[in-house]
Structure 1
Amino acid sequence: MSQFDPQRPGHQPQWGQPGYQAPPQPQKKHTARNVFIGLGGLLVALIVVGAALGGSDGDKKSDTAKDTPAVSASKPAEKADAKPAAKPKAKPAEKKKAEVVTFKVWGTAPAGALGPIDITYGSDSDNIKGSGVPMTTTLKVSKDAMYYNVTAQLQGKGDIHCSVSVGGKTKTAHAQGGYNICSAQLSGGFLGGWE
């Protein structure tokens, strides 16, 4: 074992030799403490935001008390013929429009050797035969439907477009010549809505 020589550059004393210094100990990270401090800060922030947005129950009670006039025993009784304050009329409940799906096929599609254009439309559980170009029809949206689609097959020649629309979303398609098929489909999304 060599002796420590402070005159030699790069020479470090070994354990047990004069001049040896132990390496510094790593500091504790206090992970659990930091997590609790962070959660506490988040809770305080949520309480402050909730109070700012909604107010407290005490504020609501005091506002109600300000709006309601106090009845005083020293006031003379109101006249018997005084009319009670008019109650505001309740608005009639607005009827929610039933959501509909719209199917369209348009363009030129002359009859071929197999007859006129072949159109079908509907959902994953219902398939309906359509007829003629242009065609526009609607169905009431079913909450159980996974998708809605429209298909139109040419019979030898033509140029057609098709679309399906639900809730502001529309899918379109195009087919031209031969026995090509125009097919458009909207699928129900996992979080609602149509894609």
Structure 2
Amino acid sequence: MPPQPPSAGPKWARKRIVIPAAVFTLFVGVGIGAAGGSETEKTSADAKPQPTVTVTETAAAAKPAKDESKPAPTVTVTKTVKPKADDKPADPPAAEEADAPSGEVVFKVWGSAPSGVDINYGSDSDSRSGKGLPFEKTLKLDDEALWYQVNAQLMGGGDINCSVTVDGETKKGHASGDYNICSAQLNGDFLGGWG
């Protein structure tokens, strides 16, 4: 029997290096895949479909058709319409900036809410709800109230403003996009004022 060449070392010694290296490579690959996957998911979640307009037109014949009984071919043209970018909602008319009459509280919500808006208004002891834009409600001032507020939540998109006015003091809020909330609140102070 010819002599066997000496082995490079025990097999268990090679396994101590190969197995940890494989595990490390696996974890690095999973980490890279997860990082890339979350970015892809974020991009696709942020992407909003753009509205499209489909126009069907009759193709103009270059030469007069010999057989008038056949309809002319039609061509469908699809155009992507970009929505108008509203930088800022329209300011309310000057009448909406007017102070509330003495002894009354005025709640207002205005702007654009194509998917609707959920409105809650009132004081610490009187909570009410409303819908529709423009929204304006007036309540009698309660001297015992600690605060008055209005909250308006967008129901899927839009751009709105809100305000509450008591004794010449007005607080305003703004919300834009998705399900964001416009909030304005006036608090009573120890001297009977509002701020």
Q: TM-score, normalised by structure 2?
A: 0.48
Greater Cα radius of gyration, structure 1 or 2 = 1
Instruction: Give the number of the structure whose residues are more often strand, by fraction.
Output: 2
